Structure 1
Amino acid sequence: MAAAGSSMQSLRDEASCPICLDYFREPTMIVTCGHNFCQDCLTRSCQDSGPDAWRCPQCRELVDQRHFRANRQLANFVAITKQLSLEARTGAGEGGGGGGGGWAECEKHQEPLKLFCKDDQALICVVCRESRDHRMHAVLPTDEAAEEYKDWIQSQINALKKKQYETVASKRSGNMESEALQNEADNIRQDMVTQFKQLYQLIEDKHLVLLARLEELDKRIGRRREEHNAKLSEECASLENLVHEMEEKCRQPAGEILQGIKGIMQKCQMGIVQKPVSSPPELKQWIKEFKAINVFLQRVTKQFGDTLLSEYQLCKEIVTLNPDTAHPDLCLSQDQKSVRLQCTQQKLPSNPERFDTCTCVLGHVNHAGFTSGTHWWEVEVEERGVWAVGVAVASIKRKGPLKFSPSEGIWALGQLLGGHYQALTSPKHHLLLNRRLRRIRVTLEYDKQQVAFLNPDTDTPIFIFSPASFNGETILPWFWVGGLASQLRLSL
């Protein structure tokens, strides 16, 4: 009896909400971590923490409301556990016996609930069994049904525990991978900071050397100017003295003028033919060298800027496919980087985001779209097959047929039946290309309202939608696969 009581308590624990500690009411599972709660308990708990920071009440992992799923199997398990618990209590209290002792009574017929309807999964009495509602249903004695469902419940417990273990392991693995990537990003950041510091230091050292040389040149030019001015001042004084001497000579009598005339003539000749003082050639050479250094710096600066990542290159986005939007016929890779069409349809929840008619899937960057700026990504395409790539508004129609055109919020091009490339305008625009496409670069310039497609292998444009009327909506990468031989893959 003690063992039976312990087993029943284990069942009650498995069927109880960890928040209110009562039986689950409308049990809801958080798919990402596998934990279950009453719908109301989970909603209240998430609302307390705010919509931007919802966390699982049990493991505190950040969660998204889109990953909440009603757990019908757990609801059935709770109903059965409740009934088994009731039977255990009534059996222990009344000790069995005839006349319905130990059995709960049917509210409608006041008869013992000794039977179990498998079709309705409900306890019934013998009168219920003969009624129109249950006459054609599969019915078992309660004890037999309980044993059968105990095995099922135990298997579900094992499956749930296994799923919980796998979820915890997946979470641990994901956290380890995320931590490793974070460490790698930190190392790259530190290395980049170090490299730029070294670059700054190198430039600063060269800058100081050149400035020191320029300062030395300034000093030499200054000294040369002072020397030049001193020499010219001396020459001016000498010429002034000579002029004064000649004027004095002119005022002398004729006999005295001719005395020493030869020396005076030589002085005059030397003063007239004296060459002007010129700058030293080494100073001119220094000026020439510094001009060449400036030209060199201009060329190196341009080359350096061209070599570093340009603003356009920095706009490349790491796009992944959003599985919540994928049509059930589409198979996405584990890394959510490629998509192909398969023969059999998967059993996926029919959530509002999912395409149910057109075999499309949307992409995103960190679970978000684009509302401004320039963004681009590349898609590897099949030379054969039927496919299309481009962008779409976030409010694109998900249910029912969809026309691929800008009027429906899609700007794309693709390879349709017959292997012809077309821009998905209205009407479609046939593209005459010189070679088959292997990759396509999709460039979204939101602020310019432009979507451009380019062949990155030849760096040639393919087609441009301009203007593209986004009307302020969020824009998402868009993909369509229409043939079994087709596959699209996002380039790294």
Structure 2
Amino acid sequence: MNFALGFKTTMGESGSMEALEKQLICPICLEMFTKPVVILPCQHNLCRKCASDVFQASNPLWQMRGSTTVSTGGRFRCPSCRHEVVLDRHGVFGLQRNLLVENIIDIYKQESKRPLQPKAEQQQLMCEEHEEEKINIYCLTCETPTCSMCKVFGAHKNCEVAPLQTIYNRQKTELGDGIAILVAGNDRVQAVISQMEDVCRTIEVRITEVHLPKAQL
């Protein structure tokens, strides 16, 4: 309910698309929710694939044969609030789909003028620890790129992270600002050098003018 109200409010404000996009980011993959989207008992949302990844990582003994569940039961914790989610024999497929969020995603895609996911899959780096996971976040604590599964269950679970694209844009801006400062500083240095050269030429001219009458005498 709060999600729907927030959606109606932000759509009428400037920068609403960016604000809406932040609400549509999955806390696991840190990308826009991929349908189907499931809602947990704590009211937080996950991509069903991400929910499955978290569930299987929390239940390593859970056995799957194709799409048929062999074991029953299972549980994992919500990555947002750490609330324990208890599943029935259907696993993550027993979680209710959040059709409201899925509809909002469709509206967002229709309203957005830019592609949501740039097609650069061939250049996408993959995590060495989790071979099927893309490197899509940056660990601010360790100052290294990593994947979302490393944040949830791996070496960076206690670290502060941010989306890799956000850090890239920030560092690109900082680099541009640094270059601009260097260019401005170089211009000031060149201006000072020019002033000193002018002063030197003026002094030389005055010295010449002082000695010239004596030479004529």
Pairwise TM-score range, normalised by the shorter structure: 0.3 to 0.5
Q: TM-score, normalised by structure 2?
A: 0.36
TM normalised by structure 1 equals: 0.16
Q: Name the one with the larger helix percent.
A: 2
Say which structure, 1 or 2, has more relative contact order (CA 8 Å, 6+ apart). Answer: 2
The structure that is strand-richer by fraction is 1
Larger radius of gyration: 1
